[in-house]
Copies of this chain bind each other. A is one copy, B any other.
């Protein structure tokens, strides 16, 4: 296979399809999504046959048990994929909405209309069900999608992409709108990242190595989820019972995800009261604690937190703790060491809450709530293609609207400029 040609042809077809997709009716898009769901259900056996090839190869390559589990398409997971497609069909279509149309003094009517971005290049690793989820979101928002999955899931992805693409076309979606790069050669990724004028946006989803490769080599805009070094700051005017509940939830409820807390900041005035009970609870839940010097004066049994800890996304039952003397010190720590993902304050003081919300430069800033709520579903977006830790275009959970851009629409009656 000529890889350059393969990627170019897929990208060109996607671009051609994208012009038609942008004006496709909501009905056809929803029919396509429901048809895709049905096809996946009907071909569950075929999907599992192809998935078995990936699992066999994975075992031969000595993939970890966790990796193999993520790779496996059980009956339930296949049913969940179909359900996910139908859920996206039920969401409102973001395309065509016009915001703030104004009438100018010369009579021109001018507004911003939501339109698809065009062609999304989606580069992802491991879990093959992401193939269906991402395709659903792109299609509903009127975008063509060029998929590039991980090599370990190639058979599953090829099968899924073919089923999805065929069902979409049957419903009236233009050919080429759903396409998978059919090679595991890494050169194909480079081709995608260089396909300026064809691919409009790259969204990578996977480990930090993948993200870094994409960012460093892409000539196309990238929106990425890098990491979640999330903080909870317990203010001196916090309700300490509430603080305990929020801190415990943010760390323990699901430690392996990006919106789990990694660093706890405590105001020095309440550290003595809060720490003994809280640390007991956390330790009992299996959390390994690492503290700053002042924290260790109160809790000498815990390990020392180093400079590296403040920057680390543990994704595990580990928590670094720092005592600060003021809101300003807490905010400076978050803005310096955080990853601009999600940060929360616990306080009863109205002005402190407002200053925290204004001064912390993160994609989600919370008052008296667990960082674990930072999620498209919890925010009411219905579904999400990812969480952006970038600052441009989209921040935080990205749903259908974040997969659109706008164009200016100008209606006149023959106006010319003097």
Contact = CB atoms under 8 A, between A and B. Distances in A.
Interface of A: 19, 22-23, 96, 102, 104, 108, 110, 113, 115, 117-118, 200-201, 215-216, 219, 221, 223, 239, 242, 245-246, 248-250, 253, 331, 335, 344, 353, 355, 357-359, 361-370, 372-374, 378-380, 390-393, 395-397, 405-417
Contact of A358 (B23, B359, B361, B379): B23
Contact of A19 (B335, B364, B405, B407): B335
A149 to B, nearest CB: 24
A223 B393 CA distance: 11
29 contacts: A19-B331, A22-B358, A22-B361, A102-B380, A104-B379, A110-B380, A118-B391, A200-B392, A221-B392, A239-B414, A245-B414, A245-B416, A246-B414, A246-B416, A253-B417, A363-B408, A364-B408, A366-B412, A367-B411, A368-B411, A368-B412, A368-B413, A368-B414, A369-B411, A373-B417, A392-B405, A393-B393, A395-B405, A397-B408
Count of this chain's copies in the oligomeric assembly: 2
A407 B367 CA distance: 13
A117 B392 contact: yes
A374 B215 CA distance: 33
Contacts of A239: 414
Given A246-B414, A249-B416, A408 B393 contact: no
A20 to B, nearest CB: 9
Contacts of A223: 392
Given A245-B416, A369-B415, 4 more contacts: A108-B369, A110-B380, A245-B414, A395-B405
Contacts of A118: 361, 391
A416 B366 CA distance: 12
Contacts of A104: 378-380
Nearest to A116: B361
B374 A408 contact: yes
